[in-house]
Amino acid sequence: MNDDVVLALDGIEKGYNLGKPNEVRVLRGASVAVKRGEVVALVAPSGAGKSTLLHIAGLLDTPDAGSVRIAGAELSRASDRVRTAARREKVGFIYQFHHLLPEFTAAENIILPQLAHGIARDVAETRANDLLDRVGILPRASHRPGALSGGEQQRVAFCRALANAPALLLADEPTGNLDPATSDKVFGTLMELVRSTGLSALIATHNLELAARMDRVLRMDGGVLI
């Protein structure tokens, strides 16, 4: 295993039984390697299996066949305990909708996952404020999500995904819920954040202009990555 490869998916197969013989094969030998510091776009039509691939890469789902390695560890057949620990320590997730906890402030939404990871409160607070400062919304740290704009909410979600300093960032249409102008600005913020932290990232998007700003573009066709 190359030490420069943070995510390696090899020969991933996944299907869903809708009542035999009506099995739907979503992934058919999908393979990809994402190197350290590389930002890779994943482009495909809706229903082509992008989310399924991201869920398998993020250890939220298991493949029927194939290998999933994150930071050199083979995890496709690991126990639930090992997969949960790896997901918490090595992977950050961003979704189309921010999924922030509405009863907590922006800063608290970033602090909480750190506390769950065993980080001291004062260290977690400092980390949260630093991340909010990097994305330009530190003055909004004490605001709850309902008092933030859509772009601000998604910036907080970016910070939360990076709170525990993961090796890998997985994003599923991270700006798809925003208007075009806000989407472009927020995506620029995400790219600056990823670059400054040296993260590896696999980002699913329908937006070909955003995809072109990443290091490499993968297209999914017939359950295979091209």
- pLDDT tens-place string over residues 71-101: 989 998 899 999 998 988 899 998 878 889 9
Inter-residue contact 27 to 63 (CB < 8 Å): yes
- pLDDT tens-place string over residues 175-195: 887 888 888 888 888 888 888
For residue 173, the model assigns a pLDDT of 86
What's the mean pLDDT when you consider all of the chain?
A: 89
Residue span of the structural domain in which 102 resides: 5-225
- pLDDT tens-place string over residues 20-40: 666 778 898 899 999 999 999
The predicted model gives 148-177 an average pLDDT of 90
For residue 19, is pLDDT > 80? no
Number of domains the chain contains: 1
Taking the C-alpha atoms of residue 208 and residue 222, their distance in angstroms, rounded to an integer, is 19
- pLDDT tens-place string over residues 96-129: 788 899 999 999 999 999 998 899 999 999 999 9
For position 162, which CATH number holds? 3.40.50.300
Inter-residue contact 105 to 143 (CB < 8 Å): yes
For residue 12, the model assigns a pLDDT of 93
